[in-house]
Structure 1
Amino acid sequence: MTMEQQHKLGSGFGAHSTARDVLAGIDLTGKSALVTGGYSGLGLAGVRALAEAGARVVVPARRPEVARDALRDVPGAVVGELDLGDQESVRVFSDHLLADGRAFDIVITNAGIMACPETRVGPGWEAHFATNHLGHFTLVNRLRPLLADGARVVSVASSGHFLSGIRWDDLQFRDGYDRWLAYAQSKTANALFAVQLNALGVRAFAVHPGSILTPLQRHVPREEQIAQGWMSEDGTPVEGFKTPEQGAATAVWAATSPLLDGLGGLYAQDCDVAEPATGDDMLVGGVKPWAVDPDDAARLWDVSADLTGQGA
Structure 2
Amino acid sequence: MQQPIPSGYSARTTANHIVKDADLTGKIIIVTGGSAGLGLESARTLAAAGAKVVVPARNVNKASQALTGLSNVELYPEEMDLSKRETVEAFGRWFQSRYDKLDILINSAGIMAIPLSRDERGNEMQISANYLGHYHLIHHLLPQLKKANGARVVTLSSRAHWYSAFNFEDPNFNHSSYDKWIAYGQAKTAAALLSVAVDELFKEDNIRAFTVHPGSIVTGLSDALSEEELTAFGAIKANGERGYEQYDNERKTISEGAATIVWCAVSPQLDGHGGVYCENCDIAPLHTDDGMTVGVKAWAIDKAIALRLWEETPRLFN
Name the amino acid aligned to 1:102.
D
Deviation at 1:152, TM superposition (A): 0.2
Residue 263 of structure 1, aligned match among 260, 273, 290 = 273
Structure 2 distance, partners of 1:122, 1:206, is 28
Residue 111 of structure 1, aligned match among 94, 99, 109 = 109
Structure 1 distance, partners of 2:201, 2:58, is 29
1:90 aligns with 2:99: no
Counting only pairs closer than 5 Å after superposition, residues 129-148 of structure 1 correspond to structure 2 as: 129-147=127-145, 148=148
TM-score computed with the length of structure 1 as normaliser: 0.94
SS at match of 2:149: strand
1:293 aligns with 2:302: yes
Contact conserved, 1:162 with 1:280, CA < 8 A, in 2?
Answer: no
After TM superposition, where is structure 1 displaced by more than 6 Å over at least 4 residues in a row? Answer: none
Structure 2 distance, partners of 1:231, 1:17, is 24
Counting only pairs closer than 5 Å after superposition, residues 1-312 of structure 1 correspond to structure 2 as: 5-80=1-76, 81-147=79-145, 148-174=148-174, 175-201=176-202, 202-234=207-239, 235=241, 236-239=243-246, 240=248, 241-280=251-290, 284-306=293-315
SS at match of 2:129: helix
Structure 1 distance, partners of 2:83, 2:39, is 18
Contact conserved, 2:171 with 2:316, CA < 8 A, in 1?
Answer: no
Contact conserved, 1:51 with 1:77, CA < 8 A, in 2?
Answer: yes
Report how many residues are paired. 304
Deviation at 1:101, TM superposition (A): 3.2
Contact conserved, 1:87 with 1:122, CA < 8 A, in 2?
Answer: no
Deviation at 1:238, TM superposition (A): 4.5
- Specify every segment of 5 or more residues in structure 1 that has no aligned partner in the other structure, as ranges: none
Structure 2 distance, partners of 1:209, 1:98, is 29
Name the amino acid aligned to 1:249.
A
Partner deviation per Cα, 1:196-231 (whole Å, 9 max, x = no partner): 100012310001000100000010012210023333
- Specify every segment of 5 or more residues in structure 2 that has no aligned partner in the other structure, as ranges: none
TM-score computed with the length of structure 2 as normaliser: 0.92
Deviation at 1:305, TM superposition (A): 3.6
Contact conserved, 1:118 with 1:177, CA < 8 A, in 2?
Answer: yes
Bigger mean CA deviation after superposition, 117-126 or 96-105? 96-105
